[in-house]
Amino acid sequence: MSDPFADLLLRLRKEAGRSQEEQADAINAVSGRDTVTRREISRYEKFETIPTSHTISHIAVACGVPFEELQREARAARARKRGMQAEAAEEQDPVRRRTLLGGAAIGVSTAAEPWGRLALVLGKGGKIDSASAGALVDRAADLHVQELSVSARRLQRAVESHLDAITAALPHAGAHERALTIAAGETAALAGWVAWDLGEHGRAGAYYKVTSQCAATAGHPPLRALALTYTSYGAATPKAKMELLSQAARDVRGHGNATAAAWVLGRHAEEAAAAGDDRGALRALERARFVYDFADPTSEQPWVRFVTPFRMDSLALSVYGQLGRPELASTADLAIDRLGTELSDGGVVVLGDLASALLRGGDVDQGVYVSRQFAAAAEAKPNTMGRERASAIAGSLPPGERELALHLAQFAA
């Protein structure tokens, strides 16, 4: 059965360039739950069912249209579905409804939300207002936090879509050009990290290069530090890794960069430990922990919000495990206490590094036990850092744990 609202949902999906399955994924990415399926999208577009108001709010964000107008059309569709009299349908504002259903100008005539305002100013060639610019910047920061709880494949679609949105907005940025350039660089860096996790190393390098270009354009060294630190994971040699991290550390010196500096120094410690530089690793880790005492992620660069206490625990476990240090036991106890009874999103990474550290440190029984916990948690809460840890753990398990090693290796593939 055809209906204007069903046709609208179909048009929104096609204008976004998505299949029905991709549309379901996009809506689920907004809601944070896998509740909408390809079959549901098909039923909406055939007017077999009408989305709930809750789902409509997620569709509006996923498609970049104002919720109020989409909800208004849904109400009219429900009235038609119930067979209400024509008078009830005529109570809807015909001008506003025609605007919403009118093709390329969908949802922008009376936009009340930041996404709607953004579409409006782009369509008119005007300048973006502060609320729209702020929405784009905040979304870039939120995506960096999502890497702790969303699989790389799901996150990739959201990150690249947002990068497209900022790219389209930049010519209209006006006074917000620098802020949006930095947000674009932050989003590109995350796109690179996700691409790296998916094995798309060429794409990752291209994204990191663009991030550095954004940093140079905006005159914002901490943004380059973000690109360099991500790049360090894939550098060809230990020397190359350390050179990248040394430059990143210089980029985050000074007031307002404590959280970023703690992360960069922690990564420096991790790579120094891998290279067998015990003294350098311990010194860098000590500096990272000292700097983190002064960190305030809420008032520094938006992307540093992922550098949580859990992430710092993870780095310390990695360093002590690689070096076989006695501090591993007390650090492990502290990390477990911090995790508590309900595993947080960042806790998956901690479990992975704890398992690796215990196996490397010789506590095999406990290491195997935590490895099983990590395997279950990584499946329940996939994120962009789980695959690398699964691979490392699989290679460290004793011969008697072949089944677990195979399971983790498959997860990492």
pLDDT tens digits along 247-256: 999 999 988 9
82 CB neighbour count, 10 Å cutoff: 8
pLDDT at 106: 35
In the predicted structure, residue 27 carries a pLDDT above the cut 90:
no
pLDDT at 68: 77
pLDDT at 158: 83
- Taking every pair of C-alpha atoms in the chain, what is the biggest distance, in angstroms? 81
For 178, counting Cβ atoms within 10 Å of its Cβ (0-12 exposed, 13-18 middle, 19+ buried), the class is middle
What average pLDDT does the segment 134-152 reach? 79
- Residue that is written with structure tokens 């610019």 in the block: 133
Q: b/e string for 261-286 if b means 16 or more Cβ within 10 A?
A: bbbbbbbbbbbbbebebeebbbebbe
Share of the chain above pLDDT 70, in %: 85
For residues 74 and 47, give the distance between their C-alpha atoms in angstroms, rounded to a whole number: 11
Contact 186, 229 (CB under 8 A): no
What's the first-to-final CA gap in the chain, in angstroms? 44
Q: What is the pLDDT of residues 147-200, one digit of tens each?
A: 766 777 778 888 887 887 788 788 888 899 999 999 999 999 999 998 888 888
Does this model's pTM top 0.75? Answer: no
Residue 384 banded pLDDT, cuts 50, 70, 90? low
